[in-house]
Amino acid sequence: MDGSGAGLGTDPHLDDRRWRVAERVAEAARRRFPADILVVAVHGPLAHGDDDGGGNAEVGLLLATYRAGAGPEPSTRRVDGVLVDLTVAGAQEYLRQARTLTPLWPLTADRYVTTTALYDPTGWLRTLRDEHLGRLARARPAEFTAAARQAWYRGWAAHARAARLAEWYETDQALLMLGEARLAAATVTGLLTRTYFRDPGDAVRRTGLAGADMTEVGTVLGRQADELAARGRPVDGTVDDLLTP
């Protein structure tokens, strides 16, 4: 896409109905909210340009507005058989998010770095990417470690819950919690190595956790606890530790 708001008439993705739906949403949003829309962009698999979802993959769309609260409401709908997940955010608020390092950074960074413009006349998406990469360049190792520690706690709690449910023969719930533990452990790895992922599936695949069983996930969490301790602060502590930032 050239970012000018032109149609897809010469785009090689013309025959992909996901791109056609994305373009229709972009045109409709600009028509209905002409004074509000600053940017319309695709993120996720389509933005990478190598998705082979066969027309069934989700379309992630970002509408950045001049003012917070303007434009349509964020929503998710299936349009002509294509699932469309619409994110709507004020441009300044979205830039603020891009400058914030959280425990979910490995799962959110791709939205700031890899986008394809359907409408971006001012080049705002370049600013978004630069702001995020600049924040990463300024980040101290301790910030990533602190975020990883918070992600680890979620993973440990999910794993412990999964183990208890398995003991109670609540197999379905145990599997759900084990999935949460896998993903949390994957985000810990991402934070400790400054690696971000396209989506949760990519996260567990690339970290080797996709097929990990209860014991294997527990082993990974144990190694991560050792790594966090080696970086200056163990995951276990006293009451005083809990009350001391």
Determine the pLDDT at residue 57.
72
Give the integer Cα–Cα distance in Å for 129 and 99.
10
Name the domain count of the chain.
2
Q: Give yes or no: residues 107 and 200 share one domain.
A: no
The CATH number linked to 27 is 3.30.460.10
> Domain end: 138, 170, 187, which one?
138
52 part of a folded domain? yes
Q: Is there a single domain that holds both residue 170 and residue 58?
A: no
Residues 115, 212 within the same domain? no
Does 118 lie in the same domain as 40? yes
Of 103, 138, 173, which one is at a domain's C-terminal end? Answer: 138
Residue 117 region by backbone torsions, left for phi larger than 0, else alpha for psi between -120 and 50, else beta: beta
Rounded distance between C-alpha atoms, residue 197 and residue 208, angstroms: 13
Helix or strand holding residue 87 (H, E): strand 82-90
Statement to judge: residues 24 and 134 lie in one domain: yes
What letter represents residue 105's amino acid?
A: W
103 and 173 within one domain: no
* Same domain for 133 and 146: no
| Domain match, 96 and 148 both | no
Domain contains 7: no
H or E segment at 152? Answer: helix 141-167
Q: Which of 83, 116, 138 is the last residue of a domain?
A: 138
Same domain, 133 and 146: no
Q: pLDDT 10s digit of each residue in the chain, 245 long?
A: 334 343 333 354 545 889 999 999 999 999 999 999 999 999 988 898 865 555 557 899 999 999 999 999 999 999 999 999 999 999 999 999 999 999 999 999 999 999 999 999 999 999 999 999 999 999 999 999 999 999 999 999 999 999 999 999 999 999 999 999 999 999 999 999 999 999 999 999 999 999 999 999 999 999 999 999 999 889 999 999 889 86
Together in a domain, 217 and 180:
yes
In a domain, 67, yes or no: yes
User: Does 154 map to a domain?
Assistant: yes
- Asked whether residue 126 falls in the same domain as residue 179, the answer is no
Q: Tell me the sheet residues that pair with 42.
A: 61, 116
| Structure token digits, residue 39 | 């940017």
Q: Domain limits at 209? A: 141-243
Looking at the structure, tell me whether residues 125 and 193 fall in a common domain.
Answer: no
Task: Specify if 10 maps to a domain.
Answer: no
Give the integer Cα–Cα distance in Å for 5 and 130. Answer: 22
Residue 14: what pLDDT?
Answer: 47
| CB-based contacts of 210, cutoff 8 Å, min separation 6 | 182, 201, 204
Backbone angles phi, psi at 34, to 5 degrees: -65, -30
